[in-house]
Structure 1
Amino acid sequence: MDLKEFLEKRKSCRKYEDREVSSQVLEKVKNLLKAENEKALKHNVEYKLYGSSIYDCLEGVGGYAGVMIKSPNYITMNYKVKDKESLIYGAYHLEEIVGELSQLGLGTCWITLFSIDDEIKAKTFGTQDKIDFILAFGYPESKPTFELEEYSARHGIEDFVYFNDFDTPCTVEQLYSYGLDEIFYYIKNAPSAYNSQPWRFLIKGENIYLYIEDFQGDANYTDSGIVMYYYVKMAELSSIDAVWYLDNAPEVETNFKYIGRTNF
């Protein structure tokens, strides 16, 4: 499945087959985490692999919408130092892991642990690292043919991409002239907390600036990292070598929270 199709069809998997992931596949997952950790540790983030015992420890105390997801394996996102950079790039690289697991035929689901006491987390994971997100993964359970897919309305491009200022929504024609129309068409499907699509992009001068509307803290930094990742990957398909910088905000009148900038 190519990136465009993956973004259009990407859904969280909340039910898994009652069987272990094969040892051959788990070995590939371990190698994947090793490769990702080489990049993520530069941002004070590390990923670790756990088995099904995590479910027994966290059942009844937290999970997706308050319900713990049962799966054969989990990946933790461990913050060595928890700040804007680690939150953003932790999500950035975890979403890359999601894509790689999909290529192995595995379903995934982000699980938030904000409501779980730190002592319970330390006992569950055997570490004092800060852990607010884990990724459940395994073989997806087949859905009955009569089960309807969940539908979530998506903002149109003009609702989250702006030109020069936040009073001027960017048109598809403008994006086409910059060679950005496909990028934004597909990254509108990037996942975000509660499918809120809080990101707002401002095209100004030679940069694209990323902001968050109604900023809610850590979860929105995570949303930022995910959409930043997909911008870079979609830009690659258009032969754009995109790089994100978490630097100072430009002089723009807005109440939105500034995150960073990239090129196009």
Structure 2
Amino acid sequence: MKITRTFVLSGVALLALSGCSSAAPEAEPSPSSSKISYTDGLHAKVLSVETANTISVDIDGQTKEVRLLNVVAPTEHNNEFSGSCLIPESTDFLRQKLPEGTEVTLDFDNSRVGSSGYLEAAVYVGDDFINADVVREGFATTTFLSQRDEHYAPVSEAQQEAAREGRGIYSKDVECALPHAIQLHIDRVHQANESDDEDARISSYKAASRFYNTLMSTAKSPNTWIGSIVTLDAVKDQLKELKNALGKNYYDLQGKTEQEKQSEANEPVRPGS
């Protein structure tokens, strides 16, 4: 029995030794799997442009999708007013700015991955701040996690400039743009003021008032697509023009004009009511 047990134990030991000697040495990590240090000044090479705020880049042999920080591009899935405006034009603009092979530098905010799940970065070509360039030409809006975002201010200033100059999605001449829609309501109210058709006049006043009220409510959410546009000085001025055009024919959120509310306030209170 002792001989048998010794034989079996010896066999197990030989198998263990054999297994150790035949095991392949642990592979060295390849360059493509090395960890990237996401610090300001990170160099990358543009592989492609997907949308007006999303690019594919090569970083140390790894392909990464980068979203332009504080920039929201129009997309076909954006249901907000003018959110799907000038999609091809905005993408083409960024492709011209960042052709394949362009060397870029990436800077980051406090959190390098945004709520979208993308790597978010401020993209530079030399001293040229690409995020602001796209917005300045009226091909995107700006957004923020907080107004203390490190790169938000220059992008926001670029958006104000685009609105003042009436570029891209801030143009009254672009049919899908919000300023164009505001101007249409202003023109319709002026036409209604000169119309003899009372029903048509009231219909125009109510439509313009609903439109105005909807837009004003979005100003409470300036980090959204439509809210970002409504809070621009040039657009706020245009909305004031619409409200002034309506004058006493403006219908509030309860669907009443100032004159109607005044009449109700002056109605005598019935006994027992």
Comparing both chains, which one has the higher relative contact order based on Cα–Cα distances under 8 Å and sequence gaps of 6 or more?
A: 1
Q: Shorter-normalised TM-score: what interval?
A: under 0.3
Query: If each structure's strand is expressed as a fraction of its own residues, which one has the higher value?
Result: 1
Between Structure 1 and Structure 2, whose CA radius of gyration is higher?
2
Scaled by the length of structure 2, the TM-score of the pair is 0.22
Query: If each structure's helix is expressed as a fraction of its own residues, which one has the higher value?
Result: 2
Scaled by the length of structure 1, the TM-score of the pair is 0.23
